[in-house]
Chain A
Amino acid sequence: MLMKIFFKFKNLKYLFLVFISACIDNAPLDSLSPEGPYARSIDELFWLTFWIAVIIFVLVQGALLVSVLLFRDKPNKPEPKQVHGNTKLEIIWTVIPVLILAFIAVPTVRTIFDLAREPEDALKIEVIGHQWWFEYKYPDYGITTANVLVIPSDRPVRLEMWSNDVLHNYWVPKLNGKRYLVPGQKTYLNLHADNPDEFWAQCGEYCGLSHSKMRGRVISLSENDFNLWINNEQQNALKLEDGSLAAEGQSVFLNAGCTQCHVINGVWDTQGDRIAPNLTHFAARTVFAGAALENNKENLTNWLANPAKIKPGTFMPNLELTEAEINALIAYLGTLK
């Protein structure tokens, strides 16, 4: 029945969306264009409530306007009847909202439990929040990456999340609602995309100076592409020893201080976690610096020259690199496919 009611409104809904989005096209964080089953079940619930709210809105505002138009003072208008109340009416307008809310409550509670349930064939991925980037670990495959979450589109993923410092809030609007990342606790969120595509993510909870730049991308891949990606991510980086610009960059990486925080598997392995993103497959990621910047030469130059200018409060120091060192580093990072 719910679906039927919803369906009736569907055309209206699109009319409304076209009207209101006349000036916006393609907002990548749009929570009203679900592209997966979890987000879609939320969307259906929202629109059901929305249209009920619209009806109440029209009735109440209508009553308000009609009262003002009908009953505004005019010359020779007689004094009004002194009505003190009407028990029957008051009972009616208490009971009707109760019934409406009970009607909404049923699918709400059902959806709450549906969304929380762990899907049977889900791929488990760990999400760790840091000021101000998301780290992803694939325990089944031994992969550690950052900023870009790659998921298969043929099955759901189950995110197991926690934070390394303050509260964060993981949000991919087109795939599901938000869930906090809490230090010392684990929280869970399911994602599933209909098709191979790219989605935007954003930290929802205020987490300090660069909260606004704590973003992310989610890329869903077909089964085949996903397996190719996994295979590639499992490879170590090769140590360069050929005297090229990239090899110079590698020695900058090893000697300038980057290794204090970053890891490149096969080149600079360490025991335990480092506080900064794993760079082994840096060039395979479309964005960096908490997904605040597109991965290109210009952005990398600015970032390496002065990280705090782009992300205030960042834990990456200004290493006072020379222009030559920066160019070499960028050449090296470009080889980390």
Chain B
Amino acid sequence: MTKILEPKKQNSIFRRPSSETGIWSWITTVDHKKIGIMYGYAAFFFLLIGGLEALVLRIQLSQPDNNFLSAAEYNAMFTMHGTTMIFLAIMPISAAFFNYLLPLQIGARDVAFPRLNALSFWIFIFGGIFLYSTFIFGTAGAPEGGYLDEEVSWLGSAPNGGWFGYQPNAGLKYSPGTAMDFWALGLQILGIASLISAFNFITTIINMRTKGMRFMRMPVFTWMTFAVSFLLAFSLPIIAIALFYVTFDRNFGTSFFLVEGGGDPVLWQHLFWLFGHPEVYILILPAFGIVSEVLPTFSRKPLFGYAAIVFAGFGIAFIGFGVWAHHMFASSISTVAQAGFGLSTMVIAVPTGVKIFNWLGTIWGGKLKLNTPMLFSLGFIGMFVIGGLSGVTHSIVPADTQQTDTYYIVAHFHYVLFGGAMFGIFSGLYYWFPKVWGKMYNETLGKIHFWLMLIGFNLTFGPMHWLGLQGQVRRTWVYAKETNLQFWNVIVTIGAFIIALSIVVFMINWIFSKRNGEKAPFDPWDARTIEWSIPSPTPVWNFSTAPNVKSLDDFWHSKYDEDEEGRAVRKPTADQLLIDLEEDGLNPKEEIILPNPSYFPIVLASGLPLLGYAVIFKSIALAVVGVILILSGSFGWGTEPLEEGH
């Protein structure tokens, strides 16, 4: 079947690994599909941990003045919940989609730099492990001169300064111990992984498009990957510098953010949100892309206003760099700055609105097939609109000074990042499940998952709007009985457990369908983009011959014509075309050269957490070992033969 040549034995020092199955094939892989799958599972694992942290928080808040958690534990849990969900769950799940789909959507055999891709993944894994090792090695305590009634437990020995790490509270004086160093250095490591991916994807999209895949013929998901990669490339350096400042302040006696040394704590807020607001779009744009694929497919209509959706996406990405201070309306910024950032925040609502109206235009007049991916995409629109509208109320600066730092904000961004990003992600997970595994998921369980999640989600985050307006402040370990906030807090906690139940349904569906699901037809959704023109599961070589793309939604147009009324008519040749495509896809006619696996990405990546530990434990030895690993990984990388098979 396969025309891939067996690697020949060569007399190089570093022979490239050759396992195709088993653990070594995963550790040394440079295949974008395997890397995508690993990204997905790792991110889902962290999603579960972040979810458990949220449940623990909700148990604590179900009663006023509750003692389920100590203050130290509660603060560590909300910090880790936010950090985990953003950096270890949603971002890498998006990376999973980018990795798996991007080459397939542009007709490429892999990304531009396959080994760099593996390096990104392993740095992400080591960054995640490093951050979570805080529960073992980290320490936290009362601010200098303060007293605690009990020792901080292991649960409380995690970073506790909030995912936003506001200074000077997250500085050494007020957050002693090493926990916040794990946070700063962990994010630094994770940032490197994202930065490498960003450049890899930008290069891939510019250079690796197949014949005829002009920019304005690219699927919207690819466009959004492109936009996100630019956002990462421009925003991550900002937080990298700010995190170095924090690490230096905490470990080497500098005072970038310390007033007593001439620093400025508000500078941290500017740097953090100058990264942090683009980050919001880094989290949501992939979901925009997924939804823009799912809605047309299940409406059997093209995307309404393709160009408008693409340019709105880039408009959002661009304006996203000019709204950061709306996170700081109550801070010490000037009145003029308040007005300016209020207005820029209103402006960003316009392209966002354009997208929503275009999605509605897409389903309007269609023939909607309400499969699970479609349900999640429709749910996405409904929930994201709520998050968008509450977002507009934040741009009303005086109103925001009432809302900021309350549960109203918590409700808002969960409608955007859960109701938006996560619903989009689940839509994509179901939509591409047959492509990845060659099996169908269980539709009934999928629908149960959707409805449970929709109900649980709204029970959890709907009442939070009200709680916030009624005065429940964020990041508070306890609230007084007299504030009369208990009733809705109980509802919220019940909602959180319904979400957890829906995740269990999802996992059952995934595990059983992957093992015992029906064999997926080759094009189960009668889809539009070229990743559906190859067999399921995707063969290791993706496309047996490079596709020649003639239009937007090329695959659809190879199956359908339009009659004089403009209605889709299936071409008589369509059935035969699918049979031929499957036959061709499984049996490449020419020799296929794939990038060889490599040991060195994981070797290089393993040095980075050691450098982190070296800072934390002030150990030169660890630093030396880390540098040796990085250098030897780089050296091996540079000297290993490119294509051992030849």
**B567, A68: Cβ atoms closer than 8 Å:** no
**B350, A202: Cβ atoms closer than 8 Å:** no
| B88 beta carbon closer than 8 Å to chain A | no
Q: In the bound complex, what is the Cα–Cα distance between A176 and B404 (angstroms)?
A: 13
Which residues from chain B contact A315 at a C-beta distance below 8 Å? 145-147
**A50, B393: Cβ atoms closer than 8 Å:** yes
**B365, A81: Cβ atoms closer than 8 Å:** yes
A179 smallest CB distance to B (angstroms): 6
Which residues from chain B contact A25 at a C-beta distance below 8 Å? 484
CB < 8 Å neighbour of A209 from B142, B471, B483: B142
Known: A79-B569, A166-B168. A104 touches B346 (CB 8 A): yes
Contacting chain A: which of B195-203, B230-238, B332-340? Answer: B332-340
Which residues from chain B contact A57 at a C-beta distance below 8 Å? 385-386, 389
| A263 beta carbon closer than 8 Å to chain B | no
A301 smallest CB distance to B (angstroms): 16
Q: Which of A143-191 contact B (CB under 8 A)?
A: 165-167, 169, 171, 173, 176-180, 182-185, 187
Residue of chain A at shortest CB distance from B566: A81
**A90, B308: Cβ atoms closer than 8 Å:** yes
Residue of chain B at shortest CB distance from A69: B368
User: How many residues of chain B get a CB closer than 8 Å to chain A's CBs?
Assistant: 104
**B471, A31: Cβ atoms closer than 8 Å:** yes
| A83 beta carbon closer than 8 Å to chain B | yes
Which of A30, A56, A166 has the largest number of chain B CB atoms within 10 A?
A166
A128 smallest CB distance to B (angstroms): 14
| A285 beta carbon closer than 8 Å to chain B | no
Q: Which of B346-394 contact A (CB under 8 A)?
A: 346-347, 349-350, 353-354, 356-358, 360-361, 363-370, 378, 381-382, 385-386, 389-390, 392-393
B307 smallest CB distance to A (angstroms): 8
**B266, A185: Cβ atoms closer than 8 Å:** yes
CB < 8 Å neighbour of B75 from A23, A84, A209, A317: A209
Which residues from chain A contact B398 at a C-beta distance below 8 Å? 41-42, 45, 108, 111-112, 115, 177
Which residues from chain A contact B343 at a C-beta distance below 8 Å? 105, 109
Contacting chain B: which of A220-228, A302-310, A326-334? Answer: A302-310
| B582 beta carbon closer than 8 Å to chain A | no
Known: A45-B399, A46-B399. A78 touches B567 (CB 8 A): yes
Contacting chain A: which of B213-221, B294-302, B621-629? Answer: B294-302
A233 smallest CB distance to B (angstroms): 26
Known: A85-B304, A207-B169. A49 touches B392 (CB 8 A): yes
| B470 beta carbon closer than 8 Å to chain A | yes
CB < 8 Å neighbour of A179 from B145, B330, B562: B330
CB < 8 Å neighbour of B396 from A26, A63, A64, A104: A104
Q: Which of B124-180 contact A (CB under 8 A)?
A: 142-143, 145-149, 161-162, 166, 168-169, 174-175
**B335, A112: Cβ atoms closer than 8 Å:** yes
CB < 8 Å neighbour of A46 from B402, B466, B472: B402
Contacting chain A: which of B273-281, B427-435, B474-482? Answer: B474-482
Residue ranges of B at the interface with A (Cβ–Cβ < 8 Å):
70-72, 75, 142-143, 145-149, 161-162, 166, 168-169, 174-175, 259, 264-266, 299-302, 304-308, 330-332, 335, 338-339, 342-343, 346-347, 349-350, 353-354, 356-358, 360-361, 363-370, 378, 381-382, 385-386, 389-390, 392-393, 395-406, 466, 469-480, 482-485, 487-488, 562, 565-569
A-B contact pairs, 8 of them (CB 8 A): A28-B482, A42-B398, A108-B398, A171-B405, A205-B166, A209-B146, A313-B143, A314-B146
